[in-house]
Structure 1
Amino acid sequence: MAESERESIKEQISMFDEKMISAQRAARRENWREFKKFFEEDRMRLLEPLDLFGNTAIHIATHSNSPNLLKELLEMLPRQERWRAMRMGNCVNNTLLHEIIFCTMVEMAGVVFKLEKELQQEEPYEPLVEVRNDSGESPLFRAAKLGKLKMLKYMAKHVVGDIRSHFVRFDRCSILHACILGQFFDVAIWLLKLDGNLAQHKDMDGLTCLQLLANMPLVFRSQTPSIGAVKNLMYYLLPDEGYEIDDDYDEKGEEEEESVVFRQKTDLESGPLDEAKQPEFNGIGHIWQKKKQHKLAECLAELLVQKDFSWQISFHSNFQPLIVLPILSSKLDRIKEIQLMKEKRQLVEIAHSRISKPLLKESISEASHFKNYTPLLMAAGSGIIEIVEKIIDMNPEAISHVSQDEHNVLHMAVKHRQLKIFNLIKRNSAFKSLIHRITGEGRTLLHQVARMEFYKEQRLPGVAFQLQDELRWYERVRRIVPPHYLMHCDKDGLTAKDVLEMEHQDMHKEAKSWIKETAQSCSTVAVLVATVVFAAAYTIPGGSQNGTPVFFGSRVFLFFTITDVVALVSSLASVVMFLSILTSPFELWDFYKSLPRKLSLGFALLFFSLVCTMLAFSATVLLTIRLDNKEWTSILFYCAGFLLVAIFAWMQFPLYKTLQKLVRRLCNGVKQLVPTTLINCFKRHKRY
């Protein structure tokens, strides 16, 4: 192949020549002085694309955060081409102002506005701040979407017309929706105080900003995953106040470049500004940022709740539904009927999806439109106690709101297993009126808690404890509903008990196998420990003389004897507990109290026997090598003996937490039982 042909192929393939590639290298190295030299010789190349996104050299110059460099590059061009360079867009039609929002110095935008003002005197053009990209975003919208609060406020002063024209893009997404989706709550608060009507705006899915926020549980403290005891302590020691933002907005456009910042002199864009108050460690700084996010989310929620009146539209049925009783049949026939009904419903859904997919999509969209829950119900389902509390405190009657499918706030809390919301509503005086609600599908509160449609796995040590948690939820709701609701059937002809057995059938099978395997493994370990401890009882440290132990009078020997006996007794007791589990019938309601309690107690006894075994081992070592009078050596051997126990305890910590809850419940039961018993005894004594 000839050299000329190779060169022609290279020119066809390469998008950039050597000079542009050199300019790219200079920009990557942030050598802006060298970058500028490349375009001093051929200034018109400033208008050519310099990267794959269609950005010109002037777009790239915004990354330098240097107002002088940007000004010098723009002044290199003739006045006719200067305006073209500022309006030129990249592959998505982002102009120079769209790219400048990433700069931390507002003077970068000031250079553009100053040059624009000079050019406007010669020939009027559309202001750069009004130009939109392919998504319909103005520079103001893009600055808010990316959380650039300082730049947003600076650009807002240069808007000539109505600033509200920048608040919605082509897909009907508002600027406030974009801020909430990006979790830039300081920007959202500033915008909401600027224009309160943004709270009522709905996006293309028909969601308001409060509904959007109600579907973001992780930005609130009540739904944040556990961060550990130490971090929790740091979180609570940090100040609870002072995270509000300054909402002053100068409509006259005075030349103040001070941004809307936290009162601690920080913002989400430029980070901490007050070095004296900045946390010294990254861990504390991360927790501080998290707490600021929680506080700002609460502040934003409070502002949005003040503008929300969706709870006033409530759908109450004109008549109280009657209780539908099940058809009398044997239990076996009833189970078969349930399974056939379930299979039939699944076949109908599959047939509909195969035959008419367009019609199915339309029906789904209509259903989602008519069953669009209010922020109160959404927050209750998400477990955001901050929003639910604020709505009920500001509007007490909002707790009686009913959706179009006859769901109230209690139904949502129960269906999504939100215990905090459930307890909050339980303390309200309207609680008794909420428990009688039956949905449009004929489901009571018991039907809602029996279904696993919205079930989420809890952080529990095993499937048996997860099933126990589900049964506790069912029992918790059963105590509050009217007794005759236990026999009520939904639209499928199923009582709540039928739904519970059918929905939890797979979990029940998994719990059976899990608890059997765990009991067998633990019983094997318990028998092994009992064997070792039993053998240690006959192998007396130091031997014996005429049947009397050599170290009979030693306190360490007494300690060895006691720990050895306790280890033997506790290990045998744990064996009995695990054997009682293996011989249980494993019915569904056995997992409510009996089986988890036996497993927790058996595991606690096994752990206690291991602790006593290690203590007996340490005492044996001390007796054998005779270090009774050397305290530091004794401490060293005790620490060595406890090392394995500590590792074992740390690995099995979740089970200890369940045991701790069990002990707490027993203590509460005793506290309630003892006063009652004493009062009864006193009454009997008074009679006589």
Structure 2
Amino acid sequence: MERDDWKSFKYQLDLNSGAEAKKVNEEGETFLHLAVASGKEQFVIELVKCMSSEDLRLENTDKCTALYLAAISGTKEMAEIMVEKNMDLVQVRNAHELPVVTAARHENTDMVHYLYWKTPQELLHPDKGKDGATLLTKLIISDLFDIALDLLEKYPTLAKSEDYDGRNAITVLARKPSAFPSGRLHGHWHHCKSILGKIYYAGKQREGFAKLRNEIKGGFKTQEKRSEVHALQVLKIISTQVSKMDDKQLKDAGVYEAVLEATKFGNVEFVYKVMNCNPHMVNCKDATGKGPFLYAIMYRQEKIFSLLQDMRERKSWFSYIGKEDGNNALHQAAIYNRFSQIDRISGVAFQIQCELQWFEEVEKLAPPILKDQHNSRGMTPRELFAKEHAALVEKGEKWMKETATGCMVVAALIATVVFAAAFALPGGNKEENGDPKLLDKKMFMFFIIMDALSLFSSCSSMLMFLSILTSRYAEQDFLVSLPTKLILGLSSLFFSIGTMMAAFCATLFIAVRHKNYWVPITSTILALVPITLFVVLQCPLLLEMFYKTYGRRFYVKKNNC
């Protein structure tokens, strides 16, 4: 078997009658077990042909059949040849679970799809044990929502049934924001369009999140992928089950904890559906008394933060006071949480900006009395914010200065090059009066304009970066002042690079204006490479900087508390 020579191996089997059904090592494995474990598909197919249907049920010392091993890491073809010869193999519980559950546990996707439809569905009924619940949770974890949906449609109560690991579908789905449209990570182009859209609608009415709620209601059917649609349908069945539970059942099924976890991970659809299906969800609290609103504040989940504002009287959300630390809701917004959304933001300076924006948005909603309340350490929310973010501000200052220094070097180099180019005009000068020989040529004028623009923009860029180096670095400066200077500096630097490339290409066209036009044409095409790289890699980031500084980042309602 080690030499992958089936003919030689078959010859040895023929010399030892019945050897294919004998256990060949201390682990009680047959040759079929070994072939499956080694991934030798041809050996598996040929061995199954030589064995009886009962021989396929032989177990090793761990009470596992060869199909169980195939479910872990084998191919669908291995399973097919065994199941076709003995259909009962799919019902044999190995290590206390069905083969399809084992395949799902090890994320063997092809095997799951095959074994699921071969397994008698009644074996997955909640009353038959934990196989159905375990399969459902593993399907959700593996993003196999098509099968999960089919299973839930047959047995909806599996949603609240506990699996072998002590979990259920509700608690597992709560930790899967990536399964839904709001949690999907998109590419640069999608992100760029999203930012542009936000900038366009920034000055309009506060309808951004209302639109999200309508999309949730509509199921995102028109724009999202099939897996997302299946996930939303799974969530609908699960939320229907939640709507039928009383307070005790909600606690026993871990639904309260699931809502808090969904809030923590930014699972907008889950929170919206579950909290609308059962009014008991407004009582969600952890052991310290924190509810979903506090979790949204702590973990900077602005979408859920906005969503929850319409679900209950906001005054009650701000009634929390920590028993041990004395922190109110505004103190919670001031605490720096390194496990929040802040790590997704590029640049330390913009992380500080985001933290400041978040604190001020919560402050707008909070009752005025909370702003001057002291916690157990005698600190107001503003004082706590300054203490919590002192290290981040220091890092932001260092990041800003390093970025400005590096960019200023590039701007200075560009300014030097284009300044020198202005005194070394293409085509030369007339001897009699020193005028440029090509002064009447359009391409020459284009070169002059591009060269001048590049010089002016690079000098402007240097001045902006110099102002960053000489700026003060207080917390509030990171909100608008410093980001504005960085945006202007980077924008002018990128513009100077583009105009410099245009001036260079114009020079080539002038130098070879009578022949060899393929040289400037090729150079112009190559000049598009750095410009394209900028558009793809840097433009979305620059737009995001612009929107975070000038756009309306959050959709909050006016304080009526």
SS in 2 for 1:535: helix
Secondary structure of 2:51's partner?
Answer: helix
> What amino acid maps onto 2:411 in structure 1?
A
Which residue in the other structure is 1:94 paired with? 64
Residue of structure 2 equivalent to 1:607: 494
Which digits, 9 at most, give the CA deviation of each residue in 1:339-392, with x for residues without a partner?
A: xxxxxxxxxxxxxxxxxxxxxxxxxxxxx9999843222212111222123224
Inter-CA distance 205–86: structure 2 relative to 1 (3 Å threshold): closer
CA contact (8 A) 2:130 2:162 kept: no
Preserved contact between residue 385 and residue 421 of structure 1 (Cα < 8 Å): yes
Aligned counterpart in structure 1 of residue 264 of structure 2, from 381, 395, 404: 381
Superposition deviation, residue 642 in structure 1: 4.7
Match of 2:120 among 147, 156, 173: 156
The counterpart of 2:231, out of the listed 293, 297, 300, is 297
The answer on whether the counterparts of 1:167 and 1:174 sit within 8 Å (CA) in structure 2 is: no
Identify unmatched segments of 5+ residues in structure 2. Answer: 194-223, 553-561
Matched, 1:658 2:544: yes
Aligned pair 1:446/2:410, yes or no?
A: no
- Aligned pairs for 1:221-370 within 5 A: 221-229=181-189, 291-309=225-243, 313=247
Identity %: 29
- RMSD over aligned Cα, in angstroms? 4.1
Q: 2:321, 2:445 → 1: CA distance?
A: 68
| Paired amino acid for 1:513 | K
Q: Distance in 2 between matches of 1:491 and 1:551?
A: 78
Matched, 1:418 2:291: no
With the length of structure 1 as denominator, give the TM-score of the two structures. Answer: 0.63
Q: 1 CA distance for matches of 2:532 and 2:98?
A: 60
Paired AA for residue 295 in structure 1: V
Alignment of 1:395-544 (within 5 A): 395=278, 398-399=281-282, 401-426=284-309, 428=310, 430=312, 432-433=314-315, 435-441=317-323, 442-453=326-337, 454-541=339-426, 542-544=428-430
Rounded Cα–Cα distance in structure 2 between residues aligned with 1:403 and 1:624: 74
**Structure 1: distance between partners of 2:57 and 2:511:** 90
Q: 1:390 aligns with which of 263, 269, 273?
A: 273
Are positions 1:167 and 2:129 aligned together?
yes
**How far is 1:393 from its partner?**
4.2
Rounded to whole Å, the distance in 1 between the matches of 2:417 and 2:103 is 71
Structure-1 separation of matches of 2:150 and 2:266: 26
For 1:463 and 1:512, the matched residues in 2 are separated by 8
How has the CA–CA distance of structure 1 residues 488 and 92 changed in structure 2, closer, same or farther, with 3 Å as cutoff? farther
Residue 531 of structure 1 aligns to a residue whose secondary structure is helix
The verdict on how the C-alpha distance between 1:376 and 1:537 changes in structure 2, with shifts beyond 3 A counting, is: same
2:23 aligned partner: 49
Given the alignment of the two structures, is residue 569 of structure 1 paired with residue 456 of structure 2, yes or no? Answer: yes
1-structure distance, mates of 2:406, 2:392: 21
| CA gap 1:484/1:54 in 2 versus in 1, 3 angstroms | same
Call closer, same or farther: CA 1:176–1:51 in 2, change over 3 Å: farther
- Aligned-residue offset at 1:144: 5.7
2 CA distance for matches of 1:433 and 1:625? Answer: 75
Determine which of 149, 155, 170 is the counterpart of 1:210: 170
Say whether the 8 Å CA contact 2:342–2:354 is kept in structure 1: no
1: CA distance, partners of 2:141 / 2:244 = 21
C-alpha displacement of 1:468? 1.6
- Once residues 66 and 144 of structure 2 are traced to their aligned partners in structure 1, the CA distance between those partners, rounded to angstroms, is 23
| CA contact 1:65–1:108 (8 Å) conserved in 2 | no
2:51 pairs, out of 70, 73, 88, with: 73
Partner of 1:43, secondary structure, is coil
**8 Å CA contact retained: 1:138, 1:166:** no
Q: Distance in 1 between matches of 2:191 and 2:395?
A: 35
1:326 counterpart residue number: none
Contact 1:185 1:296 in 2 (8 A): yes
What secondary structure does 2:231 align onto? Answer: helix
Amino acid at match of 1:551: L
Query: Offset at 1:539?
Result: 3.6
1:109 maps onto 2:83 in alignment: yes
Please list the CA deviations of residues 516-551 of structure 1 after superposition, one character each: whole Å capped at 9, or x if unmatched. Answer: 122122223323333333333344442144253332
With the length of structure 2 as denominator, give the TM-score of the two structures: 0.75
Question: How much has 1:180 moved relative to structure 2?
Answer: 3.2
In the other structure, the counterpart of 1:236 is none
Q: Which residue of 1 aligns with 2:221?
A: none
Contact in 1 for aligned 2:125/2:155 (Cα 8 Å): no
Counterpart of 1:532 in 2: which secondary structure?
Answer: helix
- The one-letter amino acid paired with 2:413 is L
Equivalence for 1:197: 157
**What is the rounded CA distance, in whole Å, between the counterparts of 2:320 and 2:545 in structure 1?**
37
Quote how far apart the aligned CAs of 1:515 are.
0.8
The residue correspondences of 1:177-188 to structure 2 (distance < 5 A) are 177-188=137-148
Q: Give 1 or 2 for the bigger CA radius of gyration.
A: 1
Q: 2:472 aligns with which of 585, 589, 594?
A: 585
**Contact 1:140/1:156, CA 8 A, preserved across alignment:** no
- Amino acid of the structure 1 residue aligned with 2:51: L
CA contact (8 A) 2:133 2:159 kept: no
Tell me, in whole angstroms, the C-alpha distance in 1 between the residues paired with 2:412 and 2:502. 18
Post-superposition shift, 1:167? Answer: 3.0
Counterpart Cα distance in 2 of 1:185 and 1:110? 27
Q: 1:401 to 1:535 in 2, by over 3 A?
A: same
Q: Does the CA-based 8 Å contact 2:188-2:540 persist in structure 1?
A: no
Name the CA distance, whole Å, in 2 between partners of 1:528 and 1:144: 58
**1:68, distance to aligned residue in structure 2 (A):** 8.9
Q: Does the C-alpha gap of structure 1 residues 598 and 370 become closer, same or farther in structure 2, counting only changes over 3 Å?
A: farther
Cα gap change, 1:479 to 1:409, in 2 (>3 Å): same
> For the Cα contact (< 8 Å) 1:601–1:659, is it kept in 2?
no
Write out per-residue CA displacement over residues 376-420 of structure 1, whole angstroms, 9 at most, x where no aligned residue.
222121112221232244346745644453323222222222233
Higher RCO (CA-CA < 8 Å; seq separation 6+): 2
Q: Structure 2: how far apart are the matches of 1:181 and 1:54?
A: 33
Deviates more, 1:406-415 or 1:536-545: 536-545
After superposition, the C-alpha distances for 1:217-267 in whole angstroms (9 at most, x for unaligned) are 33333223223438999xxxxxxxxxxxxxxxxxxxxxxxxxxxxxxxxxx
The answer to whether the 8 Å contact 1:100/1:108 transfers is no
Instruction: Decide whether the 8 Å contact of 2:480 with 2:549 is kept in 1.
Output: no
Q: Contact between 1:407 and 1:439, CA under 8 Å: does it hold in 2? A: no
Contact 1:214 1:378 (8 Å CA) reproduced: yes
**Residue type of the partner of 2:493?**
L
Contact 2:160–2:253 (Cα < 8 Å) also in 1 = no
Q: Distance in 2 between matches of 1:539 and 1:208?
A: 75
The alpha-carbon deviation at position 643 of structure 1 amounts to 4.5
In structure 1, C-alpha distance between the alignment counterparts of 2:361 and 2:477, rounded to whole Å: 16
SS of equivalent to 1:74:
coil
How far apart, in 1, do the equivalents of 2:548 and 2:18 lie? Answer: 79
Judge conservation of contact 2:487–2:546 (CA < 8 Å) in 1. no
Please tell me whether the aligned partners of residues 405 and 440 of structure 1 are also in contact (alpha carbons under 8 angstroms): yes
- The match for 2:445 is 558
Equivalent residues of 2:136, 2:151 under 8 A apart:
yes
